[in-house]
């Protein structure tokens, strides 16, 4: 299953990229599992996506909890808590 992954703000800077196209292994079926999958890349991914980091996530531009399921073609995003207004 292929998905698009976006990163914003401090997370984008730490990872050095704002967007990835990923082919997910069979076991990665939720947003939380995708976060763990990305963390396993090591380096900046391991530290920036660590469990202690408060991150928000969205699927197809709706904010979701880590348990949210993924489907082929989804646009998934990870980002820090928002600071607009």
Instruction: Give the binding site for other proteins (CB under 8 A).
Output: 6, 8-10, 54, 58, 61-63, 77, 79-85
Of 20 and 82, nearer to other proteins (C-beta) is: 82
CB 83 within 8 A of CB 12: no
Cβ at position 25, least distance to other proteins in Å: 26
Cβ at position 61, least distance to other proteins in Å: 4
Give whole-number Cα distances, 70 to 14, 18, 52, 80, in Å.
Answer: 24, 20, 23, 20
Of 10 and 47, nearer to other proteins (C-beta) is: 10
């Amino acid at each position: 299953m292929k998905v698009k992954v976006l990163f914003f703000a401090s997370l984008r800077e730490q990872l050095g990229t704002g967007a990835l196209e990923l082919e997910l292994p069979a076991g990665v079926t939720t947003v939380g599992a995708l976060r763990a999958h990305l963390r396993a890349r090591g380096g900046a991914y391991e530290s920036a996506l660590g469990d202690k980091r408060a991150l928000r996530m969205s699927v197809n531009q709706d904010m979701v909890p880590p348990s949210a399921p993924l489907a082929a073609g989804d646009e998934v995003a990870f980002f820090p808590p928002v600071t607009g207004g």
